[in-house]
Amino acid sequence: MRRFLVIVGLAYSMRCVTMIVTSLSVTGYHVHCGKKMFDSVWSKLGRAVAPSIGLGMTLTGQREEMCGDYMYSGHTVSIMTACLFFTEYTPSRCRLFHFLAWVTAGASLFFIVAAHEHYTVDVLIAMIVTSLVFLYYHTLANTRAHLHREVNKVRVWLPFFYYLEAKVDGVVPNEYEWPFRCPSLSWSQGPKVWHRSKSGLVD
């Protein structure tokens, strides 16, 4: 959970920068931009917090308040991060679940573009940024030899990362297990081979 929140926070922090330097026009006539506010600072802060409460969804009525914040897609960041973490931190034998997770994620991204909530480039850049942040963070976190050899440099250049990963010794073991036996949820490991012994058939 700690790594999940850090990676999502990094991706959204970079999104704040791209929103400032890249402003795109609305994606369709169904988007109604809110009027510019000249009220107090508190009212402006309230508008800034509203998308977080409503998750930026049109159903909550918050999406219509903001315009131009397309580069890049925040919904894609959340979907990709969840899918990457699900694939990374669940047993490798749950291939069917992994396949369904990626199919669901792909369908979600397709419908984001099909509903004209984002441009295609917004979704593509969000996918690339999220994947790179995820891979870079885990590569650095799993390279303990580099951290031990260059511990002073890590403390100076990456103090927050050093604080988070100081007590993590190598790759986090995947100990996630289902509390019940359900063979149909994973691919078969191959046919069983039986042979005959003196006491009968054994596996």
Which pLDDT does position 63 carry in this prediction?
Answer: 54
Distance CA 72, CA 13 (A): 11
Instruction: Report pLDDT digits (tens) over 129-167.
Output: 999 999 988 888 877 656 666 677 777 777 777 777 777
Instruction: Report pLDDT digits (tens) over 29-47.
Output: 777 776 776 677 887 777 7
Is 196 strand, coil or helix?
Answer: strand
Annotate 74-105 with DSSP letters as a single string: HHHHHHHHHHHHHHHSS-TT-HHHHHHHHHHH
Which pLDDT does position 183 carry in this prediction?
Answer: 53
Which pLDDT does position 193 carry in this prediction?
Answer: 46
- Within 13 Å of residue 37, how many CA atoms lie on the same side as its CB? 13
Q: Are strands 200-202 and 195-197 parallel, antiparallel or unpaired?
A: antiparallel
140 burial via Cβ count (<10 Å: 0-12, 13-18, 19+):
middle
Catalytic residue IDs? 75, 118, 122
Instruction: Report pLDDT digits (tens) over 71-94.
Output: 888 889 999 999 999 888 887 778
Which pLDDT does position 103 carry in this prediction?
Answer: 94
Which pLDDT does position 50 carry in this prediction?
Answer: 72
Distance CA 165, CA 81 (A): 19
pLDDT exceeds cutoff 80 at 55: no
Which pLDDT does position 60 carry in this prediction?
Answer: 60
Phi, psi for 6 (deg, rounded to 5): -65, -45
Through-space distance between the first and last CA atoms of the chain, rounded to whole angstroms: 40
The model's confidence at residue 108, banded by pLDDT at 50, 70 and 90, is very high
Distance CA 27, CA 31 (A): 7
- What mean pLDDT, rounded, does the chain reach? 76
Distance CA 92, CA 105 (A): 18
> pTM for the full model?
0.69
